[in-house]
């Protein structure tokens, strides 16, 4: 999630007009089935990132 927040920071700090969330249905990832995020449930952090984005844009 830290990389996602860094991307949102870059977009807002450099004057881009907004951000977009691409929703895609993925199979459930069990323990050890993902190379980069072995213990992550996909889509679990969407509300956190949406709120973070909203806060970044409303604070400008």
pLDDT in tens, 6-54: 999 999 999 887 777 776 655 655 555 666 666 666 666 788 888 999 9
Q: Token pair for residue 44?
A: 């679990």
Residue 10 domain-assigned?
no
Q: Is residue 53 part of a domain?
A: yes
> What span, in angstroms and rounded, lies between the C-alpha atoms of 3 and 47?
16
What is the pLDDT at residue 21? 72
Q: What are phi and psi of 46, to 5 degrees?
A: -60, -40
pLDDT at 10: 93
- Residue 8: closest CA among 24, 21, 26: 21
Q: At what angle do helices 2-13 and 46-58 cross, to 10 degrees?
A: 20
pLDDT at position 9 is 93
Residue 55, domain member (yes or no)? yes
> Residue 5: how many CB atoms within 10 A of its CB?
15
Per the structure, the count of domains in the chain is 1
């Amino acid at each position: 999630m830290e990389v996602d927040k860094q991307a949102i920071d870059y977009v807002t700090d450099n004057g881009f007009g907004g951000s977009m969330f691409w929703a895609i249905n993925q199979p459930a990832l069990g323990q050890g089935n993902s190379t980069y995020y072995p213990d992550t449930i996909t889509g679990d952090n969407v509300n956190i990132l949406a709120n973070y984005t909203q806060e970044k844009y409303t604070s400008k």
